[in-house]
Structure 1
Amino acid sequence: MPIDTTLKALDDPVRRRILHLLQEKSMTVTELVSHFDISQPAISRHLAILKKADLIRDSRQGKFVIYSLSTSVLEEMILWIRELKGETDETADSEVPERARS
């Protein structure tokens, strides 16, 4: 996924809040709407952008579509940022106290 698509998806506060909510648990669009003061079609548009960026996934359970967080793109971005900072796996590991690694 191009990084521009991911960054654009993360640029909106509503979409970031959706990600936080989905971090807690998977939800239907109706459940998500109950956390916002915007319409269901607006939430659906935000979900489509997040899905296009591979930040969420959906699955059908009966007549419901359940949305859940997908962290693989976020993990790739973290690695990319660490590379930009000049960190390697050894550098990151050395910053973790010895007792936290065991």
Structure 2
Amino acid sequence: MNALFKALSHPVRRSIVDMLRKGPMASGDIAAAFDMSWPTITGHLNALKDAGLVSPERDGASIRYRLEISAVEEALAFLLAMTGARTPDTEEDPR
């Protein structure tokens, strides 16, 4: 969980996660959206991968990144629990 929140603490990484919400993207397309060097973007992608937020998959000569929604759901459940909000898992059965 610490790695996940650390990964999301950087605005570029949050932007990448937001981009991947629309579907998998090639690393080159992700890099093209930012005015920074390729090694810097690679570092951000590695931080997201290490946190379990994205997974890489080879697509021919390029690498596509996919958002791992389960990691996002875990973080959201944690934050909701901190606020005392009920999640679908914690709601009582109305019967």
Query: TM-score when scaled to structure 2?
Result: 0.85
User: Matched residues in 2 for 1:21 and 1:83: separation?
Assistant: 26
RMSD after superposition:
1.9
Supply the distance in 2 between the matched residues of 1:14 and 1:87 (Cα, whole angstroms). 29
Count of aligned positions: 91
Larger fraction in helix: 1
Greater RCO, CA 8 A, separation 6+: 2
Structure 2: runs of 5+ lacking an equivalent: none
- TM-score, normalised to structure 1's length? 0.79
Larger Cα-atom Rg = 1
1:84 shift after superposition: 2.0
Identity in percent: 34
Consecutive aligned runs of 4 or more in structure 1 exceeding 3 Å deviation: none
Q: CA deviation at 1:56?
A: 0.4
* Aligned counterpart in structure 2 of residue 6 of structure 1, from 4, 9, 16: 4
